[in-house]
Amino acid sequence: MNKNSAQNLALFDLDNTLLAGDSDFQWGQFMIAQGLLDRAVHHDRNVQFHEDYKQGKLDIEAFLKFQLHPLSQHKHAFLDALHLEYMKQVIRPMMTDKARALVEKHRAQGDLLLVITATNSFITRPIALDFGIEHLIGTDPEEINGEFTGGFVGVPSFQTGKVTRLNQWLAERGQTLADFEVSYFYSDSHNDLPLMKLVTNPVAVDADAELTAYATAQNWPQISLR
């Protein structure tokens, strides 16, 4: 028996789930506010991609090309320092007491905790760590010689890609989803239905209309962390 087989698994989406807002969208807005992106060029496309995501029709590769390119324009050390300010100004105000309490409830139960998000891991890893969650699956930006190229590596953790990436991550640990008698996945978005349908305990959190309708039909729990 796998030594972790008695442990339950708690998966958390990040944007608009644990966070009362979208870290990917707000990073673009933050870069504009810092004078690092041209508002006229970036703002409307950022908004359009955000709307496409909400409608379930996001072209993930086009979005990643758009969203990761600015990382390639700056040194990693500069971006790390910028992210510290981003955390302080933008992210921590979106980290609600209810969200922190939910994470702590699962930690107290001894569950294996994982944030799984389509947003790139440069933006999201410090956020997951601020919640006290060590494990993160995010879309991984490509780096060469310690600097971002503007590309990405591996499968984007978006829609069915979350299932692929979770299975890969568990396989690296010598596990499968079936090893967990109880598995939770908290999400706000219908984009996450492929993974929500696979866990034993899917939970809709401040959900969009499509997920709300599906969760209602399936008698899934629905909660708010706001």
3-state secondary structure of 157: coil
Among 133, 223, 157, CA closest to 187: 223
* C-alpha to C-alpha distance for 151 and 178, rounded to whole angstroms: 33
Displacement of CA 28 from its chain's centroid (Å): 16
130 included as an active-site residue: no
208 included as an active-site residue: no
Kindly list the distances between the CA atom of residue 121 and the CA atoms of 43, 136, 187, 208, in Å, as whole numbers in the listed order.
22, 8, 18, 24
38, with CB counted inside 10 A (0-12, 13-18, 19+), is exposed
End-to-end CA distance of the chain: give it in Å, rounded. Answer: 39
| Catalytic residue annotation | 13, 15
